[in-house]
Amino acid sequence: MSKRTKGASVFIDGEAGTTGLQIRDRLSELDGVTVLSIDPAVRKEVAERAALMRKADLVVLCLPDDAAKEAVAIADELGGDAPKIVDASTAHRVAPDWVYGFAELDAEQTERIRNAARVANPGCYPTGAIALLHPLVAAGIVPADYPITLNAVSGYSGGGKSMIESYELSKTAPDFELYALGLEHKHIPELMKYAGLTRRPIFVPSVGNFHQGMLVSIPLHLDTLPGKPCPRDLEDVLARHYAKSANVTVLPEPSAKLSRLEPQALNDTDKLELYVFGKSALNHAVLVARLDNLGKGAAGAAVQNLQLMLGLT
């Protein structure tokens, strides 16, 4: 069966989940895109999924890691009829034959995504952390082996169906909690690879009693960095890196001189804001990224990537 020659068709494998529904809503607003849906009664049937993959120009995987790997194996069996794939799971984020779906990573990443057959969508926490760290590591301001600590808080929608139910239905979840205190969070390999770190960072994620929104923060002792940069030096590097970006904004002084920052201001957008809070007299700085964990941290990035891969933007 041949692919569509006019417009583009997209199959969301796992569209009933939080990210899948968000992607479907966004695609409904795009001209020239047809969403192919599977009957819920046969959503796990290999033959039914393969038939839709054969029809689709692109498949978005909104599945657990093992299920995403199985879906890729199904696509592999289609040979020349295999669709392009955007994988929203963590299964392929550090795989060498997949392109990482953070278009703003560097000057060439957008074209890599545009020309890719398979793209791994970034995680929400790594999106913020990599956006802050990659330009600074690449510029030599932050050494690759620097001992980084990352603190982050997300709305509970990032925890999937069971966590959402614990907050919204059973009301059993706490207002705030730290988690992954075993220091083995699955986002760390992705974060290290694309931030350019060679030393494993300490990552302390947390979840709060709000549906969506995210803050990622990285404290730095400036006098321990090469050249002892001031906060403005860090800000300048970030501003130059993202100067042409439509989605990533570096907030300059005095806009960044706030005493408080809340995580929900960018909800329902695909924006990412970066801040450098600093005090030269103390040799201290705190880098902060703010984003919607369901927007630029998930569905928004997936739609951005599929538009590039399908030649829609």
Q: Cα–Cα distance between 28 and 65 in angstroms, integer?
A: 26
Superfamily of domain 8-122+298-309: NAD(P)-binding Rossmann-like Domain (3.40.50.720)
Q: Cα–Cα distance between 307 and 313 in angstroms, integer?
A: 6
Burial classification of residue 96, based on how many CB atoms lie within 10 Å of its CB (0-12 exposed, 13-18 middle, 19 or more buried): exposed
Q: What residues does each domain of the chain span? A: 8-122+298-309, 124-293
pLDDT value of residue 185: 92
Q: Which fold has domain 124-293?
A: Dihydrodipicolinate Reductase; domain 2 (3.30.360)
pLDDT band of residue 80 (cuts 50, 70, 90) is very high
Question: 3 pLDDT exceeds 80?
Answer: no
Task: Quick: pLDDT tens for 217-255.
Answer: 999 999 999 999 999 999 999 999 999 999 999 998 877
Catalytic residue flag (residue 124): yes
Given 124, 215, 302, 309, the catalytic residue:
124
Bridging pattern class, strands 58-61 and 84-87: parallel
Task: Quick: pLDDT tens for 6-23.
Answer: 589 999 999 988 899 999
